[in-house]
C-alpha cells in the first residue's frame, strides 16, 4: 500500500517538477546574455500570469538592456508576450509591431519556420490595424508562402481572411471576394464554426459595400446563428454591430436598436466599445437627432482615444464638424476641423494602390510558376504577344488617366478646404473684433464717470492695449492664413508653369508676400528644412538653378 501511495505522489509531482526544470533551463540560458538583468527576468516570470502590468514593465526594461544580437526561444516568447499585451490590452499597435518584429528576428535566427510564419501573419494584422496596407500585404503574403510549404490549412485560412480585408479596403473587390470564398471553403472543410461565422460576416460587409443591403442582412443573420454556438464574444459583437449598421442604412431603426442592445454586454474591449458608440451615433444621426448623435460620437472618440485608432477618430471628427456646421455652431465646427487634421495623416488611396500593385508584382515575379508560365507565353504566336502588349498599353493609359484625374480632384479639394478654413477664420476674427470694440466702448463710457485720475489712466491704458492687440491679431491672421489663390499673380504663374503642385504654388504665393522661411514654416506646419528643400526644387523647376536671380525677384515678374 505504501508503494502505491509513493507512485501516486510521484505522478502528482511530475508537472511541478517539469515546470521547475523548464524555469531553471530558461534562467540558465538567459543569464548567459550580455546585459541581462536576472532580477527583472525573475519578476517577469513570477508575475506574467497574474500582475501583467508589473510583468510588462519588467519585460520591457529587460529587453531594452540586453545585447541585440542575442537570440533564443525564451527571448522570442518574451517579445511575443509584450507584443500581445500592447495589441489586445492597450490597442497600441505601433508598440505591438515593434516587439512582434523582435520576436520575428528571434524565430528567423533560430530557424523556426512555423513560428516565423505565425509572426509574419500577426504583423500583417497589426500593420492592417495601423493603416499601412502595403506592409500588411507584404507580411501576409510572406506568411502564406511559408504556410503553403508546411501545409497548415488553418493558418492558410487565416491568411486568406487577412488578404480579403486588405484587398477590400484597397477597393479590389474581386480579389477580396476570391480570398473570402477560399476562407469559407477551408472553414467548411475544417468544420470551423467560428471560421464560418467570420467568413459570412465578411461577405456580408462586402455585399454592403457594393450596395446589396438585402443580401448583407441575410448573411449577417446567418452569421449570428453560427456565432451564438461558439464562445468568441468579440466576433458575435462585431456581427451584431454590422447588422445594426446595415439596418440603419435601410431605415429600420427599431431593429438596429435591438441589435445594439444585444451587442452592449459584449462590447468589453476598446475597439468594440468605440464601435458600439459610433454605430449608436450613426443611428441618431440618421434619425436627425443631432444632440444625441454628437454625444455618442464624442463617446466613441473618447474610447478610441485610449488606443491607436487615428483614422477612425479623424472620420468621427469630420462627422462632428458637419453636425456642428449644420447646427450653426461654427466655433465647435472649427475645433473639430482642427482635431480632424491633427489625427489625419494624408495617405492617398492612389499611393496605397501603387504600393499594393508593386507588392503583387514582386510576388508574381518571385513565383516559379509564374516564371514558367511567362516562358511558355513567350513561345506562343506573334499575334498573342501583340494582343498582350496592346492590353498592357491600354491598361497603362487607363491607370495614367486615373492618376491624373485623382491629382486634379486632390487639388480641387485642397483649394476648397483652404477657402472654407479662411472663411471660418474670417468669421471668428470678425466676432472677436466686435467683442473687443464693444468692451473698449463700454470701458470708455465708464471712464467718463470716474473722477480718480489714476484709475482713469489705467482704464484708458487697457482700452489702448485692447485696440492694439485686436489690430495686431487681425494682421497676423491675415498674413498667416489668407492664401491668395484667386488673383492675377497665381493665374499667370499657373499658366506658365502648370506642372506646379498645390504645395509648390502655395509656397510661391507666400514667397511673393516676402515671408521668411521661418514664417512659411509656421504657416504651413512644415519644418524649415522641408521649406528649404521645396525652395531648392522650385528653383530647379522654374529654371533658376545656377542663376543669380532670387526666387522673390523672379516671382515679382508675375505681379
Q: Of 129, 116, 117, 119, which Cα lies nearest the Cα of 99?
A: 119
Describe the crossing of helices 173-189 and 193-209 by its angle, rounded to 10 degrees: 160
178 and 155 in contact (C-beta within 8 Å)? no
Q: Of 127, 151, 129, which Cα lies nearest the Cα of 140?
A: 127
Long-range (24+ apart) CB contacts under 8 A made by 184-193 are 186/153, 186/154, 186/156, 186/157, 186/160, 187/157, 189/153, 190/153, 190/154, 190/157, 192/154, 192/157, 193/226, 193/229, 193/230
481: confidence class by pLDDT, cuts 50, 70, 90: very low
Most confidently modeled of 212-221, 301-310, 520-529, 547-556?
Answer: 301-310
159: confidence class by pLDDT, cuts 50, 70, 90: very high
| Dist. CA 259–CA 254, nearest whole Å | 9
Describe the crossing of helices 253-263 and 270-286 by its angle, rounded to 10 degrees: 160
| Dist. CA 285–CA 245, nearest whole Å | 12
Chain centroid to CA 14: how far? 49
Quote the pLDDT of residue 426.
Answer: 67
Quote the pLDDT of residue 471.
Answer: 54
**The pLDDT of residue 331 is above 70:** yes
| Dist. CA 432–CA 303, nearest whole Å | 34
Q: Of 94, 81, 96, 146, which Cα lies nearest the Cα of 120?
A: 146
**The pLDDT of residue 199 is above 70:** yes
In the numeric block, the cell 449644420 is attached to 326
pLDDT in tens, 496-537: 888 888 888 888 888 888 888 888 888 877 888 988 888 888
Quote the pLDDT of residue 252.
Answer: 87
**Can you tell me the mean pLDDT for 224-251?**
78
Q: Indicate the average pLDDT of the chain.
A: 80
Largest CA distance in the chain: 113
Neighbours of 27 (CB within 10 A): 16
Helix, strand and coil content of the chain, in percent to the nearest 5, comes to 80, 0, 20
Rounded alpha-carbon distances, angstroms, from residue 149 to 143, 155, 173, 330: 10, 11, 27, 59
Describe the crossing of helices 73-88 and 113-130 by its angle, rounded to 10 degrees: 20
210 and 239 in contact (C-beta within 8 Å)? no
Q: What is the fold, at CATH topology level, of the domain defined by 488-556?
A: Arc Repressor Mutant, subunit A (1.10.10)
Q: Of 52, 86, 90, which Cα lies nearest the Cα of 304?
A: 90
Q: Of 40, 17, 13, which Cα lies nearest the Cα of 27?
A: 40
Quote the pLDDT of residue 86.
Answer: 93
pLDDT in tens, 402-458: 878 877 876 775 566 566 656 656 665 677 777 777 777 777 777 777 777 777 777
Amino acid at each position: 500500500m505504501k508503494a502505491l501511495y509513493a507512485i501516486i505522489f510521484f505522478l502528482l509531482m511530475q508537472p511541478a517538477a517539469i515546470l521547475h526544470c523548464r524555469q531553471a533551463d530558461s534562467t540558465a540560458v538567459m543569464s548567459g546574455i550580455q546585459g541581462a538583468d536576472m532580477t527583472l527576468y525573475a519578476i517577469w516570470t513570477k508575475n506574467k500570469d497574474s500582475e501583467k502590468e508589473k510583468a510588462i514593465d519588467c519585460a520591457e526594461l529587460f529587453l531594452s538592456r540586453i545585447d541585440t544580437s542575442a537570440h533564443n526561444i525564451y527571448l522570442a516568447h518574451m517579445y511575443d508576450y509584450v507584443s500581445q499585451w500592447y495589441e489586445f490590452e492597450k490597442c497600441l499597435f505601433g508598440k505591438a509591431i515593434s516587439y512582434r518584429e523582435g520576436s520575428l528576428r528571434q524565430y528567423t535566427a533560430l530557424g523556426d519556420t512555423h513560428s516565423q510564419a505565425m509572426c509574419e501573419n500577426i504583423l500583417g494584422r497589426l500593420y492592417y490595424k495601423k493603416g499601412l496596407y502595403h506592409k500588411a500585404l507584404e507580411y501576409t503574403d510572406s506568411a502564406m508562402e511559408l504556410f503553403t510549404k508546411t501545409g497548415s490549412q488553418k493558418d492558410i485560412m487565416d491568411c486568406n481572411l487577412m488578404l480579403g480585408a486588405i484587398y477590400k479596403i484597397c477597393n479590389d473587390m474581386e480579389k477580396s471576394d476570391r480570398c473570402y470564398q477560399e476562407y469559407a471553403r477551408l472553414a467548411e472543410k475544417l468544420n470551423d464554426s467560428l471560421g464560418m461565422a467570420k467568413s459570412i460576416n465578411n461577405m456580408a460587409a462586402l455585399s454592403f459595400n457594393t450596395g446589396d443591403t438585402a443580401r448583407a442582412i441575410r448573411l449577417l443573420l446567418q452569421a449570428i446563428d453560427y456565432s451564438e454556438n461558439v464562445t468568441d464574444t468579440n466576433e458575435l459583437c462585431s456581427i451584431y454591430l454590422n447588422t445594426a449598421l446595415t439596418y440603419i442604412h435601410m431605415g429600420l431603426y427599431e431593429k438596429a436598436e435591438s441589435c445594439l442592445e444585444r451587442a452592449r454586454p459584449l462590447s468589453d474591449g476598446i475597439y468594440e466599445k468605440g464601435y458600439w458608440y459610433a454605430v449608436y451615433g450613426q443611428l441618431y444621426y440618421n434619425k436627425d437627432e443631432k444632440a444625441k448623435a454628437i454625444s455618442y460620437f464624442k463617446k466613441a472618440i473618447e474610447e478610441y482615444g485610449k488606443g491607436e485608432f487615428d483614422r477612425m477618430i479623424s472620420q468621427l471628427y469630420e462627422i462632428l464638424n458637419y453636425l456642428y456646421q449644420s447646427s450653426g455652431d461654427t466655433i465647435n465646427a472649427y475645433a473639430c476641423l482642427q482635431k480632424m487634421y491633427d489625427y489625419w495623416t494624408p495617405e492617398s488611396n492612389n499611393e496605397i494602390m501603387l504600393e499594393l500593385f508593386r507588392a503583387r508584382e514582386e510576388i508574381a515575379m518571385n513565383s516559379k510558376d509564374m516564371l514558367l508560365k511567362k516562358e511558355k507565353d513567350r513561345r506562343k504566336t506573334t499575334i498573342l504577344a501583340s494582343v498582350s502588349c496592346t492590353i498592357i498599353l491600354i491598361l497603362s493609359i487607363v491607370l495614367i488617366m486615373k492618376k491624373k484625374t485623382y491629382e486634379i480632384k486632390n487639388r480641387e479639394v485642397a483649394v476648397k478646404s483652404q477657402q472654407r478654413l479662411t472663411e471660418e477664420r474670417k468669421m471668428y476674427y470678425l466676432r472677436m473684433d466686435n467683442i473687443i470694440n464693444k468692451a473698449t466702448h463700454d470701458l470708455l463710457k465708464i471712464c467718463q464717470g470716474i473722477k480718480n485720475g489714476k484709475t482713469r489712466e489705467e482704464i484708458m491704458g487697457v482700452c489702448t492695449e485692447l485696440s492694439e492687440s485686436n489690430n495686431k491679431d487681425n494682421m497676423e491672421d491675415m498674413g498667416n492664413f489668407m492664401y491668395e489663390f484667386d488673383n492675377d499673380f497665381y493665374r499667370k504663374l499657373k499658366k506658365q508653369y502648370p506642372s506646379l503642385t498645390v504645395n509648390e504654388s502655395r509656397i510661391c504665393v507666400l514667397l511673393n508676400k516676402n515671408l521668411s522661411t521661418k514664417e512659411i514654416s509656421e504657416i504651413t506646419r512644415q519644418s524649415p528644412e522641408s521649406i528649404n528643400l521645396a525652395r531648392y526644387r522650385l528653383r530647379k523647376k522654374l529654371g533658376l538653378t545656377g542663376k543669380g536671380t532670387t526666387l522673390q525677384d523672379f516671382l515679382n515678374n508675375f505681379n
